[in-house]
Amino acid sequence: MTDSLDALITLLDLDQIEENIFRGYSPEEHRMRVFGGQVAGQALVAAGRTVSKGNVHSLHAYFLRPGDPRIPIVYLVDRIRDGKSFTTRRVIALQRGEAIFNLSASFHIQEPGIDHQSEMPDVPDPLSLPTFKEKMAPYAKRMGEWYSRPRPLDQRYITEPNMFKTQEKREPYQRVWVRADGTLPDDPLLHACVIAYASDMTLLDSVMLPHKVSWDQPGVMVASLDHAMWFHRQFRADEWFLYDQESPTASGSRGLARGQIFSSDGRLVVSVVQEGLVRIINQEIQDF
């Protein structure tokens, strides 16, 4: 296991203050706000720690306020229902007495039943693609510490990443191979939380691609608003998974993005939907 992956596991290993109350921390990074995938992953850990049977099959979450990475986050778990097949939890994340995030998650015991799925796209093998550092090498100086920092996830872009402003409009989709950079413990909840963490990293890029808008562009504000995931089949986050992402619509400073996550053997394991804020503050940007 790499040091960065070990740090991610530590990040997801919450302190239990008392029954149904947990505390999480943010890494020492130069961020203006807490990364959305972090708070979603930690909230799912808090929910799962109160569940005695079944694995998570869905979550629905809202990002309410920007989280402050300098102070801890307190997670309050409400045990909504414990049924024979399904268990439901609600989690509120708090800082300074205010809710910054809430999540509802449902857990389901494994049952036999019907089975079908969409086909996995035909894409290059991940090991045939450049690593993140190789792909971003032309932008290393511009990225600064963000380029050289260790990463817990190995990402291999199939399409061009939307890291910097481009002069060309592109179709609203992208594809990325991802896996944890090391071997994870055999804990299904941890693998689900790592996938939740990864699912927020690139999804909104597809919203910006048709408009020549990027994360680093002055006068553009981008933030996650809500996030939903459905876990269809068992998987391992330390094995390659394809994140196939597309945006069907954007309007009124909001964009919708959808993602399908396939295991390397072609199984559709997770579906993701997210709406994000893409606010144009600088009125000189006319293309959006």
Read off the tokens for 253: 């400073």
Catalytic residue among 104, 155, 206, 224: 224
Q: Is 26 a catalytic residue?
A: no
The dihedral of CA 63, 90, 44, 61: what is its sign? negative
Q: Where are the alpha helices (DSSP H) in 144-235?
A: 145-148, 188-199, 205-208
Sheet containing 254-263: order of strands: 15-18, 21-24, 73-82, 86-95, 98-108, 55-63, 220-231, 268-280, 254-263, 241-251, 173-180, 153-157
Q: Is 274 a catalytic residue?
A: yes
Catalytic residue among 154, 200, 238, 244: 200
**Planar angle of CA 94, 95, 98, nearest 5 degrees:** 65
Residue with tokens 């079908």: 116
Q: Is 52 a catalytic residue?
A: no
Q: How far is CA 232 from CA 21, 69, 76, 82, 118, in A?
A: 28, 32, 27, 21, 12
Taking a C-beta distance cutoff of 8 angstroms, is the pair 77, 47 a contact?
A: yes
Q: How far is residue 181's CA from residue 1's CA, in Å, rounded to a whole number?
A: 7
Catalytic residue among 42, 104, 206, 274: 274
Q: How far is residue 5's CA from residue 83's CA, in Å, rounded to a whole number?
A: 35
Which of the residues are catalytic? 200, 224, 274
